[in-house]
Structure 1
Amino acid sequence: MRLNEESLETLVVRQMVENGWEERAVTDFEPAYAIDLPQLAAFIEATQPDLVDALSLKAATPTRHEFLSRLQGEITRNGVVHVLRKGVDHRQHHVDFFFPTPTPGNSNAAQLFAANRFTITRQVHYSVTAAGLSLDLVAFINGLPVFTFELKNNITKQTFDDAVEQYKRDRDPRELLFQFGRCVAHFALDDQQARFCTHLKGKQSWFLPFDKGWNDGAGNPPNPDGLKTDYLWRQILSPASLANIVENYAQIVTTKNPRTGRKTSSQIFPRYHQLDVVRKLLADVEAAGAGRRYLIQHSAGSGKSNSIAWLAHQLTEAKHGGGNAFGSVIVVTDRVILDSQLKETIKSFMQVGSTVVHADRSGDLRKAIEAGRKIIITTVQKFPYILDDIGKDHRDRTFAIVIDEAHSSQGGKAAAAVSMALATGGAAEDDETVEDTINRIIESKKMLPNASYFAFTATPKNKTLQMFGEPFPYEAGTGYRPFHSYTMKQATQERFIVDVLENFTPVPSYYKLMKTIEDDPEFDTRRASKKLRAFVEGNEHAIRLKAEIMVDHFHSQVIAKHKIGGQARAMVVTSTIPRCIEYFHAISAYLAERKSPYKAIVAFSGEHEYKGFEVTEASLNGFPSKEIADQIREDPYRILVCADKFQTGYDEPLLHTMYVDKTLSSVKAVQTLSRLNRAHPAKHDAFVLDFANTAEDIERAFAPYYRTTVLSQETDPNKLHDLVNELNGYGIYTPETVERFAELYLAGVDREQLDPLLDSCVAEYIEMSEEDDQVAFKGLAKAFTRTYNFLSTVLPFGSPQWEKLSIFLDHLIPKLPAPREDDLSAGILETIDMESYRVEKRESMKIALADDEGELAPVPAAGGGHVTDPELERLSSILQTFNDQFGNIKWTDADRVQRLITEEIPRKVAADESYRNAMANNDPANARVEHDRALARVMLALVSDDTELFKQFSDNEGFKRWLSDAVFRSTYEESP
């Protein structure tokens, strides 16, 4: 047999037939209705024989045409999946088009399911008007088309990309078979890779990868038993698997814009990694029941919301030991959007008994659990507080706890609150002793035996890995890894998410500071340098200059280059709320000066003072905070200026460019920059302009999360013994004090009985002769509580003495005064001024991450507290060191000033877009106005290179007038 496209088609069909499909004749397809009419009629005759004559299925009569037209209308309105699940009402009849997977022991349902007809047809002529057009394969369920296929063969030098282009170029989406919702998906594949599209739109069709992944990256592993892609038709599209997808995954979701009222529909089909993780989790639940922990590391932007929705729904029906594995599924998230996604997902499923409730308050949650509601959504912020009050004695119930973006915040005390509430309702027994209470608390901190935890995150920390990960032998000990991973490497290589490190441009700042006093006092070098850096970067001139760079870049590189089809948005990440507000005003002012059609939006929490006025998001934006995410999608708003808000969990595919003026590290860097990675059919790249971090900083932050992240070894519990021994050695407290405090605290006494015990320890702490000892003790105490709160959730054993000490130290630490540290840098900002400032845009670069498994170290258990002795230096020396480090610019001289005036300034003014437009209109008066504005902008930038020249221009009216006239003459007269 020749290894051509036809041979691949023959192989696919043969293997599908071997796996339960039936091949049908191409003549059975009716292009006018886009169905296999003989198969549809045969299915109805076998399962609903009374309808055959009523619908006139065996004769081409007006009755049959009316029924088929009704069927086509329902598919057009709701999609083929809805018709398969719900059937169609026609006149006085209800017609079923599919019978679902039977429950064990239901013989009647099994017989009906066996009557379903899964058929495959080759070279289907799909067009009524162009009879010669055909496509390779169409798959049908009971005569209704569900998938189309275009096949290519690498051996004949054609790939899935050619199949994708064939769909885009040659398959008219107006043809009935290719209309939205008519099929579940359209597959473009070859013998090595597969892609699919759920909505054909010609050249705008968006094909997504459907590969298994290989070495944590794109593609598929070698297949010793056949083709690399045969998992698609032999496994995923086997009749049983396909029935499961139709029943529990595929759907059309309609969303409504609350502002415009406009509805948009999208067809959802699971990616391979989404289907794989949900099925593997459900299989493990069926085998093991409740009480397991699962960590799912799926890259940001990889569709975790849908994965969680599909999982949560199916966990409500998951079986173990002959019954339901879980009574309720609790979803913990900080994203409101997940609530609506869950509701939309479940609303379209056949099992209408699954219900969703959002529990914002403890009363809501308690009622939901007592009422046996299947899916309960709560927030990370309310997690520990709500679950304290969810009712009494749930030890006879089983729970699935699905955590969206799991981090260490879900461990320790938060996990204990959940566990105690679910296990015992948080209530003590009447005859409970102190020891009983302590043991109950210790037990409540453990992962509950009657609950399973499903933790989703893109960036697992070491605590998260040890708490939820899978243990495995690693080097000399035990490591931890995720149960399932879909890596950043695979997601970016597949272009399912955009590589945010592909276009990274650092913009380092350079400045020179000068003394403004004759004296040369001494200051603490370390603290002084921090204050100087903050002073420079927060200077009004610096913010204005960087705002101009951002706006100019956005117009010239984002808008002018028509990024995301002209719909691109940008985000500005700032370090503090005051800086955020200043940036918002600077950017807004410059947008107005440029006569830009676009505006900025500001995002921050709370109310803050700005130039003597209290301001909020709403007062600055002119609309409520809750509308920010919607408004940024609508013109004229294009730039979102943020302080902390929207840096995590924000999912906006139109976000293309990020301007960063905030130091980022570790997980925070990954989460922040990953706001740009959401895919969009017209989005081909992303851009980062970073004023605060180097490429090395960002590479270091991303490296552990490029591939699967593992924990190198577990935290050693013996470190707690060492910490306790060190703490006891300081003599701040006695064992009797700890015992008495725990006893009184657990008895619920008033604080007037507790404070004296703590205050006596505080007095001992203050009396310590060495400041270093105070710092060391407080550091050790914090290390103990931090480490114990974590380890208490994962250790198989517990220690009442550790628990009592933890209770005691939790209350003692806040009362311990910080060691007195004189600020030996106070007053330095009153002694200096900024002589010059500039920023230097470097070449854009691609940050390449090492292709290694990410490895995290275990949770540290050391105290680490120490006093840093101040290093005193003269002000002149501090400024010299600071300028040497950050200055690096050539200072002005007479020759330089002359060159600036005669060459650089006129050239930059002449290049100004607004000035050039005015000159082109031959209007000298208007041109002069625009010239003076352009000159002012150029001179403002000179604060970076020649402060003396800038000051002359600002302060000397005669010099300003002379320079303006000279530059205008030279530039206007030279214009065409």
Structure 2
Amino acid sequence: VLRKGVEDLGVQFDLAYWAPAHRITPELWDLYRGNRVTVTRQVHHSESNPHDSLDVLLLLNGLPVATAELKNQLTGQGVKDAQAQYENDRNPADLIFRARSLVHFAVDQDVVFMTTRLAREQTQWLPFNQGSGGPGKQGGAGNPINPNGYRTAYLWETLWERDAWLNIIGSFAHEDNGGKSPTKIKPHERKILFPRFHQWDSTRKIVAHVRSHGPGHNYLAMHSAGSGKSNTIAWLANTLATLHTPSDPVLLGPGAVKVGLGPDEPIFNKVIIVTDRVALDRQLQSTVTSFDHTPGTIQKIDQNSTQLREALQSAKARIIITTLQKFPIVAEAATQLQGSRFAVIADEAHSSQTGEAAKDLKAVLTGFHGDAALTAAEAADEVEEPDLQDLLAKSVEVRGRHDNLSFFAFTATPKQKTLALFGEAEPAPELPSAVRHVPFHLYSMRQAIDEGFVLDVLANYLTYKTYYRLANGLSGADPEVPKGRAAAALARFVSLHPSAFTQKAEIIVEHFRHHTAHKIGGRAKAMVVTRSRLHAVRMKQAIDAYISEKAYTNVAALIAFSGTVSDPDIPGAGPDMGFTESSMNGFPESALPRRFATDDYQILVVAEKYQTGFDQPLLHTMYVDKKLDGVRAVQTLSRLNRTHPGKTDTFVLDFVNSADDIAAAFAPFYERSWSEPTDPNILSNLKTRILDAGIIDSTDMQQTVIALLTDTTATNEALYVGTDLAVGRFLELDTDDREDFRTALRDYVRLYAFLAQIVPFQSTDMEQVYLYGRILLTRLPRNEGDELPDLSDAAVLTHLRIERGELATASLTTVDEEESEIPGRTGEGRGKQH
């Protein structure tokens, strides 16, 4: 209504006016300046409860567009209280919440959260924070210190500034109906998209730079998975398509002057999005059409190169969506159509990584057998097909920079060459070149993890060597675990030969069954990353054989690879006899993502294909049997980082790489120190430190855990009662002792959850400390004056109960004593028990 107005009896009434793209029509600016943007305090808003009042109501021309609840930490309340007030005290059926305001903010002095729909306890809150390092900089969740006031002052000083706020309402916030007609959408199905802070910040900063400098510059946005790149790209494309040069000739940038642009002229004739995301096309269509109904504004190139060339030369299409494969045509057009100016937005989704560039193995493996054949296959499959970063870099290197062409690259993992060609140069006196190249805008992996948009895949990463040492060490550290019974869940083999498919298949299947299968409500899945397509074929065969030998019915595997694989070690195999993905799976390649998403399959064996282009949130565990380094390591392990209801962690078991190699690969993106745990006794040591501190009473702990597991209506009260005395004893400690106890308890909780993925603990007292510790941590104030977290949050209790069920499932798994003994076949790489 605000954007398109209303019509009554054939008369159009515009309810708001948006800033024109240029100054050619001053009367439009007069209308824009006539908008009334107002803020009202303590607004009584509710039909159902007239005494209720909102702290802040923002209105545009008298129509409510946003609400806010403000909390003062000095009075003992914080952002959690604001969220609880919205969820518990505000009626979602009230008109102002049901079909009026676009967004609701929960605010205290430190952080801001937002939601576009109130739904009681189902309300989804998203952080609206700059990041601890400041907007677009390295850092985690939260906001940086503000020397001039509150950390959250940016909300009213920057976001709610008149022009910025009108721009957000007019060019960012929109209704996403998923392709449905607006007239067929019910009120509870209405979905408003409002930008997260980094999405708005990156778009406005890029646009401001383009307006002041003109075309010919390149921009690199390093935005992590979980950043919402599809929406950011859609908003940027829509803005660039109508962006004009400044009306003052003095403000014209050198790039604009160089290509002959004058005041108030369109900077770009075409905005071209290079992507392989089907979802992005739908999102872009939804975003742009909500602002402009002009038919033909967006053109998707889904046919041939001729269609793309015609679109580039036509005057109608302003935004063109094309694929990675057609990018060379775009680069060629930039050199030929000198009178036109292009903005190329490159979305690196890695979904083109299908292994299609791999060599034909029939010729490669001719004359090789045994380990020699595996080595040859691995070498052949090491060839990587070029990705979007490679093509962009090649275009710049071959054709050079063009004054009429600007690149806007979005990637979570920029390569060094990409940074050098598209990054911003900043002084670095400590480097030999005295310059380093950095992204124009950054939303880091650390911030995405801290804010809960992706999971931390390194939190539970283990090399096989460490896995073996910890697993066998832990079995001895837990006196309640019978030696033979525990062996089934432990690492069985001291060392593994690269071609020991039978051994690895056993480890993979048994680890999955004992430690992964019960995750995510019993729907967790795993990926096995192999060195080559021949390795993948043999691994899949070994896994199938082991499952068949054990007569397991609750685990099944699929395989993904391109082309045909002929195994030279199959007796009598002719040159035309080989394996394909479809022949091994029993259905077409195109059906694999859909079939793997069902409960019929749990393990996916891959060779290059799907290693960096597969988005399956149910993936929990990865078994790595391939050398990984650099960006490829990050992209591969990041297959696990997608969030899903009930998914709280991930696990990686690496047969090949060292922890140092993986840490080095993640260092440019991870922005935090990391190392593997190595001491199996550390859990017992931490437990001793915790109990010796005199904070936890064993009777209180036992009764609290029982209350947690019985899940009655009195649970919340019982958890408070069971932890109140412990909190009181904690507060009596001096500052150093408090931090020592808190650190020990936090480390114990984290480490127990991690080590439970290696061996199921039978020790009930260790699990009691874990469960009680999880609850107690939520109640310990960090420092004097900090608020006490609200334990009534149903999500916390639900998570603990789900997790307790998972642990119980793993702990109660029994294995026959005959099966639990470590096999001791000599000469076949099988180790004896140590």
Do they superpose with TM above 0.5?
yes
Q: Answer whether contact 2:525 2:619 (CA < 8 A) is retained.
A: yes
SS in 1 for 2:234: helix
348-357 or 280-289, which moves further after superposition? 348-357
Q: Offset at 1:113?
A: 2.5
What does residue 252 of structure 1 align with? Answer: 175
**Residue 947 (1) aligns with residue 825 (2):** yes
460-469 or 357-366, which moves further after superposition? 357-366
Q: Offset at 1:304?
A: 1.9
What does residue 108 of structure 1 align with? Answer: 27
Q: 1:306 aligns with which of 231, 253, 276?
A: 231
**Residue 606 (1) aligns with residue 568 (2):** no
SS in 2 for 1:202: coil
Q: Offset at 1:207?
A: 1.4
What does residue 278 of structure 1 align with? Answer: 203
AA in 1 matched with 2:402: L
Give the Cα separation in 2 of the matches to 1:182 and 1:340.
Answer: 26
What does residue 636 of structure 2 align with? Answer: 672
What does residue 154 of structure 1 align with? Answer: 73
**Relative to structure 1, is the Cα distance of residues 621 and 85 closer, same or farther in structure 2, using a 3 angstrom cutoff?**
farther
What does residue 38 of structure 2 align with? Answer: 119
Q: Offset at 1:681?
A: 6.1
AA in 1 matched with 2:165: L
Give the Cα separation in 1 of the matches to 2:389 and 2:292.
Answer: 39
What TM-score results when the alignment is normalised by the length of structure 2?
Answer: 0.63
Q: Answer whether contact 2:48 2:91 (CA < 8 A) is retained.
A: no
**Residue 501 (1) aligns with residue 443 (2):** no
Q: Offset at 1:369?
A: 0.6
Q: Offset at 1:236?
A: 0.9
Give the Cα separation in 2 of the matches to 1:272 and 1:221.
Answer: 14
Give the Cα separation in 1 of the matches to 2:243 and 2:336.
Answer: 23
**Residue 466 (1) aligns with residue 428 (2):** no
1:886-897 to structure 2, matched below 5 A, reads none
Q: Where does the alignment leave 5 or more consecutive residues of structure 2 unmatched?
A: 246-262, 351-384, 470-493, 673-677, 684-761, 763-812, 830-834
Q: 1:371 aligns with which of 303, 314, 327?
A: 314
SS in 1 for 2:205: helix
Q: Offset at 1:316?
A: 1.2
What does residue 264 of structure 2 align with? Answer: 322
1:637-648 to structure 2, matched below 5 A, reads 637-648=601-612
Q: Offset at 1:481?
A: 1.7
Q: Answer whether contact 1:332 1:403 (CA < 8 A) is retained.
A: yes
Q: Offset at 1:609?
A: 4.9
SS in 1 for 2:322: strand
**Residue 574 (1) aligns with residue 452 (2):** no
What does residue 292 of structure 2 align with? Answer: 350
Larger Rg, first or second structure (1 or 2):
1
SS in 2 for 1:203: coil
Give the Cα separation in 2 of the matches to 1:844 and 1:664.
Answer: 29
Q: 1:487 aligns with which of 434, 444, 465?
A: 444
AA in 2 matched with 1:643: A
**Relative to structure 1, is the Cα distance of residues 116 and 627 closer, same or farther in structure 2, using a 3 angstrom cutoff?**
farther
1:929-949 CA-to-partner distances (Å, cap 9, x unmatched) read xxxx998x876675x542279
Q: Answer whether contact 1:660 1:688 (CA < 8 A) is retained.
A: yes
Give the Cα separation in 1 of the matches to 2:231 and 2:646.
Answer: 22
SS in 2 for 1:664: coil
What does residue 15 of structure 2 align with? Answer: 97
**Relative to structure 1, is the Cα distance of residues 574 and 206 closer, same or farther in structure 2, using a 3 angstrom cutoff?**
farther
Give the Cα separation in 1 of the matches to 2:159 and 2:814.
Answer: 63
Q: Answer whether contact 1:569 1:655 (CA < 8 A) is retained.
A: yes
What TM-score results when the alignment is normalised by the length of structure 1?
Answer: 0.55
**Relative to structure 1, is the Cα distance of residues 585 and 254 closer, same or farther in structure 2, using a 3 angstrom cutoff?**
farther
What does residue 549 of structure 1 align with? Answer: 511
Q: Offset at 1:657?
A: 3.4
**Residue 167 (1) aligns with residue 45 (2):** no
Q: Answer whether contact 2:563 2:580 (CA < 8 A) is retained.
A: yes
Q: Answer whether contact 2:393 2:418 (CA < 8 A) is retained.
A: no
AA in 1 matched with 2:143: N
Q: Answer whether contact 1:125 1:135 (CA < 8 A) is retained.
A: yes
1:641-720 to structure 2, matched below 5 A, reads 641-680=605-644, 683-707=647-671
Q: Answer whether contact 1:362 1:387 (CA < 8 A) is retained.
A: no
Q: Answer whether contact 2:112 2:152 (CA < 8 A) is retained.
A: yes
Q: Percent identity?
A: 41
SS in 1 for 2:407: strand
Give the Cα separation in 2 of the matches to 1:500 and 1:578.
Answer: 27
Q: Offset at 1:235?
A: 1.6
Give the Cα separation in 2 of the matches to 1:677 and 1:537.
Answer: 29
**Relative to structure 1, is the Cα distance of residues 694 and 392 closer, same or farther in structure 2, using a 3 angstrom cutoff?**
closer
Q: 1:454 aligns with which of 385, 404, 408?
A: 408
Q: 1:214 aligns with which of 123, 132, 141?
A: 132
Q: Answer whether contact 1:255 1:265 (CA < 8 A) is retained.
A: no
What does residue 399 of structure 2 align with? Answer: 445
What does residue 32 of structure 1 align with? Answer: none
Give the Cα separation in 2 of the matches to 1:844 and 1:367.
Answer: 66
Give the Cα separation in 2 of the matches to 1:591 and 1:96.
Answer: 67
Q: Answer whether contact 2:324 2:388 (CA < 8 A) is retained.
A: no
**Residue 132 (1) aligns with residue 51 (2):** yes
Q: Where does the alignment leave 5 or more consecutive residues of structure 1 unmatched?
A: 1-82, 420-441, 512-531, 709-839, 846-906, 908-932, 952-976
What does residue 142 of structure 1 align with? Answer: 61
Q: Answer whether contact 2:502 2:543 (CA < 8 A) is retained.
A: no
Q: Offset at 1:359?
A: 5.3
AA in 2 matched with 1:136: D
1:380-459 to structure 2, matched below 5 A, reads 380-384=324-328, 386-387=329-330, 390=333, 393-405=336-348, 414-415=391-392, 418=395, 445-459=399-413
Q: Offset at 1:93?
A: 4.9
1:923-962 to structure 2, matched below 5 A, reads 942=821, 944-947=822-825
Q: Answer whether contact 1:319 1:325 (CA < 8 A) is retained.
A: yes
SS in 1 for 2:517: helix
SS in 1 for 2:65: strand
**Relative to structure 1, is the Cα distance of residues 155 and 393 closer, same or farther in structure 2, using a 3 angstrom cutoff?**
same
SS in 1 for 2:176: strand
Q: How many residues align?
A: 596
1:300-348 CA-to-partner distances (Å, cap 9, x unmatched) read 2212222122112211111124211111122223433333322222222
**Residue 289 (1) aligns with residue 233 (2):** no
**Relative to structure 1, is the Cα distance of residues 128 and 322 closer, same or farther in structure 2, using a 3 angstrom cutoff?**
closer
